[in-house]
Amino acid sequence: MNACNICGGHRFGPGPSHRYSITALPPRCLGCGSLERHRVARRAIDAVRLPELFARYRLIRFSSDPILVDRWFASAELSVFGGENSCDLEAIDRPDESYDIILCSHVLEHVRDDAKALRELMRVLSPEGFLLLIVPRSEAGTLTDDWAFPDPAKNFHYRGYGRDFDTSLAKAVPQAHVVIVEAADPVTGDAKRLHMLTKSIFWRERWLATAPGALSIGS
């Protein structure tokens, strides 16, 4: 197996619930804990990152996923549901344009009103930066299935997303440029999909030009 592109590790084990990748390989890096989606997101970030810009940017992460490195940024904040610094995504207690980079990875499916959460994320995003959004199933499911309650049998998700999530994003936040990135995990080869939302033409064009498998939708 190839080395982990986040920590350089070569040792891997089963993922959550002892699962293996679609390609039947162990997906969890035993060095940094990364999974397929984390490594695909890091591939994209490594392609687009400009160190001198990131060094001026304010970051907030809504999960502790090993995708971004806090020391890359002028300031870095972590908000995890139920923790000391827990933000309600449907009503984020921060002023407009508080952050330049926002990472929201495998969180939106836990939020009752995901469209409202998306509007809040875009409200606290500055015009100079971008939101990196990752949700489960968006590369595999056909249509989003919303059961409208946090099902304990499904990791307390309110819904399972599908490929229609692409167009749903454009409708929920029409002021945003939406770029889809679909690329292979360098370790397992599994394809994963993520979304970049921005108010910035600069970042829209940079993601389209440099991120693997990038495609623009919406405005």
Predicted confidence (pLDDT) per residue in 134-158, tens digit: 998 877 767 888 888 888 988 888 8
Is the pLDDT confidence value at 218 over 80?
no
Mean pLDDT of 6-25: 95
pLDDT, position 200: 96
Token digits of residue 126? 């500055």
Question: Quick check: helix, strand or coil at residue 78?
Answer: strand
Counting residues of the chain whose pLDDT is more than 90, the rounded percentage is 76
Question: Taking residues 47-75, what's their average pLDDT?
Answer: 97
User: What are the C-alpha distances in Å from 34 to residues 54, 63, 95, 136?
Assistant: 22, 13, 32, 15
Instruction: Flag whether pLDDT at 10 surpasses 90.
Output: yes
pLDDT score at 143 = 87
Mean pLDDT over 105-127 rounds to 95
Least confident range from 47-51, 92-96, 132-136, 214-218: namely 214-218
Q: Which CATH superfamily is domain 39-218 in?
A: Vaccinia Virus protein VP39 (3.40.50.150)
Question: Residue 101 phi/psi, 5° resolution?
Answer: -130, 130
In degrees rounded to 5, what are phi and psi of residue 95? -65, 165
86-90, 103-107, 117-121, 208-212, range with the lowest pLDDT:
86-90
Q: Where are the alpha helices (DSSP H) in 34-188?
A: 36-48, 51-54, 114-123, 165-172
